[in-house]
Structure 1
Amino acid sequence: MGIIALIRGGEPVKYKNYYEVLGVSKDASQEAIRKAYKNLAKKYHPDLNKNSSESETKFKEISEAYEVLKDPEKRRKYDELQNAAKFQHGSEFDPREYGFDYQTAGRRGGATDFGSDEFSDFFNMFFGGGGFGSDDIFAGFGGSNRTRQGTSRTAGGYTAPDTDIEAEMEIDLLEAYRGGEKQVRLNTENGEKTLKVKIPKGVTDGNRIKLKGQGRTDPQTGKKGDLYIKLSLRNDREFSLEGIDLYKEVKITPWEAALGAKVSVRTLEENVNVKIPAGIEPGKKLKLKGKGYRKGSGAQGDLYLTVKIVNPPKLSEREKELYQKLQEVSEFTPNR
């Protein structure tokens, strides 16, 4: 069960240099950012570093940086913030000194964050929807003096507060592909309540689900706003998604690479037999047309398999003999 969490109040915030976290330059391409994230995520993934709190912390920091830099709009806003703030990575600042008030953050702009405890207060304050409109987060740092859009409505001399809420919820790739239902806990003006969220099949990162009448109540009119849930696809251990194309590794033995083979590969829907051509090189990509991600509109991408040749962890005496025999008879010398 997910939960929408409010930002904590009255504490200093540590500035995050997301480019430094991923080890890329500020002008890095989206592809370079994706590759850097992928390499670091593999290195520090909690499943590969059991009982290592340091790796878990590092993995969360990497995921947070990628969450911002992979999104062109978030990246643009972050770059503006970085240019205005001039902070060093890890340096602390009091948001109140720059015109930001934690105490009202959870009550003003409405958009709190699903799973915000996974990311830092810095992320939650500027990108998790902690009460600030997307266009006014730079003003306190000497940036453009922008105002929040859509925060109020005026009618007959009465300025109505914005009663809509936007929140973010992480879901797995399979949940997004198959659709389903999730329960979430929402911290509201009247306390905590549980909601059921129906997830349509084929949603993609950034899609929003509207829950009518689940927003804030206008104190004057009694009308309730709506809750908009922005979906964020959690990184998958087996598949990576780019647009509607899927990517994954297919592991084969040295003899399968040399002689060719048929191997069983899991897709999002079923297991399929894939023909491995004889003499295939590691890193070669095989394309399975129409086996990628299917959007709700019906459009379906392709699945790309990257070949990885895996040696046996331990050889039997017979296997050693055969390898030695191959060494004796083979004339293949790639390094000479």
Structure 2
Amino acid sequence: MADDYYQLLGVPRSADSHEIQRAYRTLARKYHPDVNKQPGAEDTFKKISEAYHVLNDPESRAQYDRYGPEFRRYAEAEREYASQPSGGPRPGGRTRARPGPSGFSWSSAQAGAGPGGTSVDWDDLFGDVFGSRRGMDSEAELELTVEEAYRGGPRTVILTGPDGERESFDIQIPPGALDGQRIRVSGGGQPGRQDGGAGDLVITLRVKPDRRLRLDGKNIEMDLLISPWEAALGASVSTRAPGGTITVRVPPGSSSGRRLRLKGQGMPQPGGKPGDLFAKVKIMVPPHPSPRERELFEQLQRESRFDPRSSS
């Protein structure tokens, strides 16, 4: 019994092209012969590649959904019929002559029965098989740090195709790139048919947070590390931000978690309003206080009546 392409990729029959591409990328990384040396991995890789190429193309997917694993048999039957010298219609069929790929005329006939005894409309099934057609778009994701997205600049994206062949693309990241933003590379997708031209490569940017920086739309949130006395007395603190060194004014009595807004210092937006930078106060204490520091902290403990638990 032939493998079900949807089951091979682990997607429902209602899956869209994005789900199919994600499933294929995951399985291809797992079973690619260069990575997986287990017996049967190469055969599995070939099967999932075949399933992907059929289901990722709307035309072949529609044929597969209609006729199942035997959909290619109908294509072969049409080619055999087109090559007959008589070129006449089958009994009971209707014909429509059109030029073939080599200049000759072939006839598309509605004849025969498909699954369940239904009539096969050969013209609908093979109407565009010989014509030019633009290639499908391909999709990829590129991961950036917040600082890389802030600066932008040139990047090289290297993709590995189903056959293991690598291809590189030089792209330009715009300054202030946001998570989910898409960059289109013209002609970087799948090859077209005849003169249809290649599709595009669509790259989705993914901006990952780190221990200091987080992205919220076009706003940036960063941790501002300060000492207990800076938090209590107030201070002007210099710190590193994606755009360079900045000075943040910490008001007296700032507790951990307080957010200080620096307007317009978030992600740049060429031609638009930039985001804001939010510095989140995080109070740090000496991990190994000196004897004098410990003495002063003990003195503060004796003299202060501040109770953070009762004031909350």
> How far, CA to CA, are the matches of 1:334 and 1:209 in structure 2?
50
Q: Point out which structure has higher relative CO (alpha carbons under 8 A, 6+ apart).
A: 1
Amino acid at match of 1:263: V
For the residue of structure 2 that corresponds to 1:107, the secondary structure is helix
- Cα shift at 1:109: 6.0
Counterpart selection for 2:189 from 215, 226, 247 = 215
Deviations 1:258-301 (CA, angstroms, capped at 9, x unpaired)? 11111112222121111211111221111111111112333211
- Asked whether the 8 Å contact 1:105–1:132 carries over to 2, the reply is no
- TM-score (norm: length of structure 1): 0.53
Q: How does 1:251-330 map to 2 (within 5 A)?
A: 251-330=225-304
> How far, CA to CA, are the matches of 1:326 and 1:203 in structure 2?
47
Match of 1:102 in 2: 48
Check if 1:164 corresponds to 2:115: no
- With over 3 angstroms needed to count, the CA separation of the structure-2 counterparts of 1:316 and 1:11, relative to structure 1, is farther
Deviations 1:91-132 (CA, angstroms, capped at 9, x unpaired)? xxxxxxxxxx72334434669xxxxxxxxxxxxxxxxxxx99
Amino acid at match of 1:196: D
- Cα shift at 1:254: 1.2
> How far, CA to CA, are the matches of 2:193 and 2:217 in structure 1?
43
> How far, CA to CA, are the matches of 2:137 and 2:155 in structure 1?
21
> How far, CA to CA, are the matches of 1:230 and 1:298 in structure 2?
21
For the residue of structure 1 that corresponds to 2:295, the secondary structure is helix
Counterpart selection for 1:237 from 211, 216, 220 = 211
Amino acid at match of 1:164: D
- Cα shift at 1:166: 2.1
Amino acid at match of 1:302: D
- With over 3 angstroms needed to count, the CA separation of the structure-2 counterparts of 1:258 and 1:184, relative to structure 1, is same
- Cα shift at 1:221: 3.4
- Cα shift at 1:247: 0.7
> How far, CA to CA, are the matches of 2:177 and 2:55 in structure 1?
26
- Cα shift at 1:172: 2.3
> How far, CA to CA, are the matches of 1:168 and 1:132 in structure 2?
24
Check if 1:182 corresponds to 2:155: yes
Q: How does 1:1-336 map to 2 (within 5 A)?
A: 102-108=48-54, 158=131, 160=133, 162-188=135-161, 191-221=165-195, 223-335=197-309
Amino acid at match of 1:230: T
Percent of pairs identical after alignment? Answer: 36
- With over 3 angstroms needed to count, the CA separation of the structure-2 counterparts of 1:217 and 1:189, relative to structure 1, is farther
- Asked whether the 8 Å contact 1:110–1:166 carries over to 2, the reply is no
- With over 3 angstroms needed to count, the CA separation of the structure-2 counterparts of 1:310 and 1:164, relative to structure 1, is same
- With over 3 angstroms needed to count, the CA separation of the structure-2 counterparts of 1:213 and 1:154, relative to structure 1, is farther
- Cα shift at 1:189: 7.2
- Asked whether the 8 Å contact 2:136–2:200 carries over to 1, the reply is yes
- With over 3 angstroms needed to count, the CA separation of the structure-2 counterparts of 1:168 and 1:154, relative to structure 1, is farther
- With over 3 angstroms needed to count, the CA separation of the structure-2 counterparts of 1:187 and 1:281, relative to structure 1, is closer
- With over 3 angstroms needed to count, the CA separation of the structure-2 counterparts of 1:168 and 1:307, relative to structure 1, is same
Match of 1:36 in 2: none
- With over 3 angstroms needed to count, the CA separation of the structure-2 counterparts of 1:324 and 1:272, relative to structure 1, is same
> How far, CA to CA, are the matches of 1:264 and 1:242 in structure 2?
23
Mark the structure with the bigger radius of gyration: 2
**Count of aligned pairs between the two proteins:** 207
- With over 3 angstroms needed to count, the CA separation of the structure-2 counterparts of 1:326 and 1:167, relative to structure 1, is closer
Question: Structure 2: any 5+ residue segments left out of the alignment?
Answer: 1-6, 12-17, 20-46, 66-125
Question: Structure 1: any 5+ residue segments left out of the alignment?
Answer: 1-9, 15-72, 75-100, 112-130, 137-152
Deviations 1:18-65 (CA, angstroms, capped at 9, x unpaired)? xxxxxxxxxxxxxxxxxxxxxxxxxxxxxxxxxxxxxxxxxxxxxxxx
- Cα shift at 1:304: 1.0
- With over 3 angstroms needed to count, the CA separation of the structure-2 counterparts of 1:187 and 1:314, relative to structure 1, is closer
> How far, CA to CA, are the matches of 2:161 and 2:127 in structure 1?
24
The Cα RMSD (Å) is 3.7
